[in-house]
Amino acid sequence: MRAAVLWAALLATSAAAETPAVVVLKAARLIDGRGGAPLAPAMVRVDGDRIADVGSRLAVPSGARVVDLGDATLLPGLIDLHTHLTDKFGVHWEQALVSTTPGQAALWGAANARATLMAGFTTCRDMGPTWPYVDVDLRNVIEQGGVPGPRLLVAGNYVSSTGGANCPFPPMWIPLISESWLSETGWTPCASRGSSRAVSCDTVAGECSRNLIPSQRKR
């Protein structure tokens, strides 16, 4: 009997842990982005990480946390289709190649992801990092709950013609770039080398780099 009671208590504790927390947001108005008039007043019920209901007057479940935002206006999450979250603002990518490391890019990515989320952007398409695949790692850590940030669609690496935009310069002088970007026969994008890191979009850069000198072009 004692074992049965203990087992029942463990089951109850497990069920409680799996029950998503309920949060009810209250605000002066809500714009849903579908073209209709703003909803005023507005209430949004969130179960765990999902929006469960929206209305002017919702029933508040027992135990729910109520957040009254006063005169605020609620909006759907914004989407940014061109970001470079792993870059430090103000540092050009060519300068970053000789003055930063992939670890610095990862840390700046975490900081920028949080700032972007707090600005209201819940989805971003990241168009390629200076250091290959740091954006993939950032996306994975966000999905695993390690750092706060928006949902990320990432490129992983650039696909560039020899001498095109974001073609590494000068690649042969920087071991990390040589390992990540080059093949033995010439300048070959990592995307064509069978990387095992899953990406969700490809960035193709085509314009000419003004800094590439003719002697460094593949012949």
Domain locations along the chain: 20-74, 78-216
In this predicted structure, the answer to whether residue 188 has a pLDDT above a threshold of 50 is no
**Predicted TM-score of the model (pTM):** 0.69
Comparing CA positions, the residue from 72, 4, 6 lying closest to residue 43 is 72
Do the Cβ atoms of 159 and 189 come closer than 8 Å?
yes
Mean pLDDT, the chain, integer: 77
- Look at residue 213 in the predicted model and tell me its pLDDT: 35
In this predicted structure, the answer to whether residue 43 has a pLDDT above a threshold of 60 is yes
Beta pairing class for 151-154 and 42-47: unpaired
Supply the CATH classification number for the domain 78-216. 3.20.20.140
Please provide the DSSP assignment of 78-127 as one string. Answer: EEEEEE-TTSPTT--HHHHHHH--HHHHHHHHHHHHHHHHHTTEEEEEE-
pLDDT digits (tens, 9 = 90+) for 134-158: 999 999 999 999 999 999 999 988 7
- Look at residue 4 in the predicted model and tell me its pLDDT: 39
* pLDDT classification of 7: cutoffs 50, 70, 90: very low
What is 20-74's CATH number, 3.90.550.10, 2.30.40.10, 3.40.630.30, 1.10.3720.10? Answer: 2.30.40.10
